[in-house]
């Protein structure tokens, strides 16, 4: 790991010492937050109550810092079965309003993906467990740890009675893992209110590309999620009675899904690469400068072989080229054992990660036309329906903006190194929404290591990342203030 450089004397040195001395308290708070099963994915009343409890804990923590907290009612979620469930409140918090200081807004979320120990967790996912400096538990890295790291940084200044170098705002939600219901509407409504005085918005909801070297993220891919349904009838068939005399929906669907991408990972939908931004020489140099050990990355990913052999090719296909992934089939028999059934109706699910300058509506048309052509060649008597269930745009930032310079300096102060400048192959819709709606600059400042396993079994954040990350946010406040004085 990189050793931290000596912090400059003055408030930052005291803040760093305070964070080191109180790290066990910070871990204990993370333990209390992880213990709340704030799963927003499963639409059940018990879990919604947990989400409401989690929002209450966070609001209390923010009020403890002296922040003014508004708990905004986000209404209800209407489910397909007619049931309604409350959407957890969105927290808007403010600390300081000095016109001489810059105002930095932090976005974070308190909800998590589902987790059960029987799915392969080595420990109870909702009991924070420390092993060899790794803090295991659902939400540790995505996103409760980073939210608390920001709070830790603020609390250190407050506890030492040091003047906060910046005005702080918080935008904290509880439905990110389920599409951030009600958030976009709130952001639009608050554009000229809550967000009017904001200079930049910080998101810390991603990971580094390394286990040891920090990174700054300046772009994410978008996502178009598709379903393709093939239907003969609503009921399943017995393969002894009907096998061999009809077009089986599963056979049609497998052929359709198999027509989408080849063995080298290239998408086979005609025209799909037509609007992908060309690679510039400057961009190539950025990839060359990234510190990525291919062997370590492969081992930490537990993958035998990647599709690409060079660092540059791998990163470009992960970040700046589109990819197509097949996710699953609904309606097919998947339980253990042998069941001789022919599904009467099956739904395939796949998605395309979008990059600049792909047009979502053009992609939708291209996919539908391709699947219709493949299906027509099979002369099947079944019905096929293709739908784009979700469409999210890619996001890209200007790395010359003040907040990127401030973050680079803060990383140098805390970790003693320059950051990797990277993109993220996944989709974080709120970045694009915040940037386009508020017209404010957005930065992604991650804390977690590449092997943290967000959304996976045994999710963790290293104690080192959590504590040094708290220092990083404190240093970022100071660097933003220094830059602001020269604006």
User: Which pLDDT band, with edges at 50, 70 and 90, does 291 fall under?
Assistant: confident
**Is residue 296 marked as binding?**
no
Choose, from 39, 50, 94, 111, the residue flagged as catalytic: 111
Q: How far apart are CA 252 and CA 247, in angstroms?
A: 8
Which pLDDT band, with edges at 50, 70 and 90, does 9 fall under? Answer: low
Check the annotation: does 262 bind a ligand: no
Q: Is 229 a catalytic residue?
A: no
Predicted pLDDT at 7: 59
| Rounded average pLDDT over 393-408 | 94
Which entry of 37, 39, 94, 176 is annotated as an active-site residue?
A: 176
455 is in an annotated binding site: yes
pLDDT digits (tens, 9 = 90+) for 143-157: 999 999 999 999 999
Higher pLDDT, 487 or 195: 195
Residue 84 DSSP SS3: strand
- In sequence order, which ranges of 41-107 are alpha helices (DSSP H)? 45-64
pLDDT of residue 243 exceeding 90, the answer is yes
Tokens of 328: 């699953």
Q: Is 20 annotated as a binding residue?
A: no
- Which tops the pLDDT comparison, 88 or 286? 88
Question: How many residues are recorded in the chain?
Answer: 487
The more confidently predicted of residues 350 and 426 is: 350
Task: Provide φ and ψ at 325, rounded to 5°.
Answer: -125, 135
- % of the chain at pLDDT higher than 90: 90
Going by their DSSP bridges, the two strands 323-330 and 237-238 should be labelled as unpaired
H helical segments located in 190-280 = 239-242, 249-258
Query: In the prediction, which pLDDT does 363 show?
Result: 98
Q: Read off the pLDDT of residues 179-202 as tens digits, 9 standing for 90 and up.
A: 898 999 999 999 999 999 999 999
Whether residue 205 is annotated as binding a ligand: the answer is yes
Contacting residues for 94 by C-beta, under 8 A, at least 6 apart: 67, 68, 167, 168, 169, 170, 194
Among 197, 205, 203, 219, CA closest to 484: 197
Which pair of structure tokens corresponds to residue 295? 């062997």
- Confidence band (pLDDT; 50, 70, 90) for 5? low
Over range 171-176, report the average pLDDT.
97
pLDDT of residue 69: 98
Mean pLDDT calculated for residue range 297-306: 88
Cα(444)–Cα(397) distance, integer angstroms? 9
Asked if residue 214 has pLDDT above 60, the reply is: yes
Backbone φ, ψ for residue 22 (5° rounding): -105, 15
Is 37 annotated as catalytic? Answer: no
Average of per-residue pLDDT across 220-246: 97
What mean pLDDT do residues 64-86 have?
A: 94
Question: Which pLDDT value is given to residue 487?
Answer: 65
> Hey, which residues does 223 pair with through a beta bridge?
353, 392
Query: Are the C-beta atoms of residues 74 and 87 closer than 8 Å to each other?
Result: yes
Find the helix or strand (DSSP H, E) in which 423 lies. Answer: strand 420-424
Q: For residue 330, is pLDDT > 90?
A: yes
Residue (of 186, 145, 155, 144) closest to 15 by Cα position? 155
pLDDT at 437 over 70: yes
Residue entry with tokens 């924070």 = 128
Q: Which residue has the tokens 């810092």?
A: 65
Mean pLDDT of 421-440: 93
Q: Which residues pair with 77 in a beta bridge?
A: 85
Per-residue pLDDT, 8: 62
């Amino acid at each position: 790991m990189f050793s931290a450089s000596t912090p400059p004397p003055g408030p930052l040195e005291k803040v760093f010492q305070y964070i080191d001395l109180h790290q066990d308290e910070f871990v204990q708070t993370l333990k209390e937050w992880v213990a709340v099963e704030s799963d927003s994915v499963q639409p059940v009343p018990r879990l919604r109550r947990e989400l409401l409890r989690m929002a209450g804990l966070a609001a209390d923590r923010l009020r403890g810092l002296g922040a003014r907290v508004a708990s905004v009612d986000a209404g209800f979620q209407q489910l397909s079965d007619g049931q309604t469930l409350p959407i957890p409140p969105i927290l808007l918090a403010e600390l300081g309003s000095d016109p001489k200081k810059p105002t930095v807004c932090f976005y974070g979320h308190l909800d998590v993906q589902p987790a059960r120990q029987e799915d392969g967790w080595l420990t109870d996912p909702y009991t924070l467990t420390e092993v060899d400096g790794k803090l295991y538990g659902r939400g540790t890295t995505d996103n409760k740890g980073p939210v608390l790291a920001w709070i830790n940084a603020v609390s250190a200044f407050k506890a030492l009675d040091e003047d906060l170098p910046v005005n702080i705002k918080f935008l904290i939600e509880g439905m990110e893992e389920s599409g951030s219901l009600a958030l976009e509407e709130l952001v639009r409504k608050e554009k000229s209110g809550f967000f009017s005085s904001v200079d930049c918005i910080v998101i810390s909801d991603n990971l580094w590309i390394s286990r040891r070297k920090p990174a700054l993220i300046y772009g994410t891919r978008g996502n178009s999620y598709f379903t393709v349904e093939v239907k003969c009838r609503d009921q399943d068939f017995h393969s002894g009675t009907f096998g061999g005399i009809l077009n089986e929906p599963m056979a049609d669907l497998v052929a359709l899904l198999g027509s989408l991408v080849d063995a080298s990972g290239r998408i086979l939908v005609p025209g799909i690469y037509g609007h992908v931004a060309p690679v510039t020489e400057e961009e190539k140099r950025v990839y060359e400068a990234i510190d990525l050990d291919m062997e370590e990355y492969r081992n930490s990913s537990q993958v035998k072989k990647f599709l690409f052999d060079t660092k540059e090719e791998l990163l470009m296909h992960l970040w700046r080229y589109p990819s197509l992934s097949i996710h699953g089939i609904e309606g097919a028999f998947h339980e253990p054992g042998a069941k001789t059934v022919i599904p009467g109706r099956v739904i395939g699910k796949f998605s395309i990660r979008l990059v600049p300058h792909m047009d979502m509506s053009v992609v939708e048309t291209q996919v539908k036309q391709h699947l219709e052509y493949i299906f027509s060649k099979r002369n099947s008597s079944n019905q096929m329906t293709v739908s784009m269930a979700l469409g999210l745009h890619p996001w890209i930032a200007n790395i010359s903006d003040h907040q990127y310079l401030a973050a680079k300096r803060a990383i140098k102060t805390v970790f003693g190194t320059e950051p990797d400048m990277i993109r993220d192959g996944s989709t974080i819709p709120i970045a694009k929404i915040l940037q386009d709606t508020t017209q404010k600059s957005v930065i992604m400042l991650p804390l977690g290591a590449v092997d943290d396993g967000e959304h996976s079994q045994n999710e963790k954040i290293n104690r080192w990342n959590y504590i040094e990350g708290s220092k990083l946010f404190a240093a970022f406040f100071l660097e933003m203030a220094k830059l602001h004085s020269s604006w």
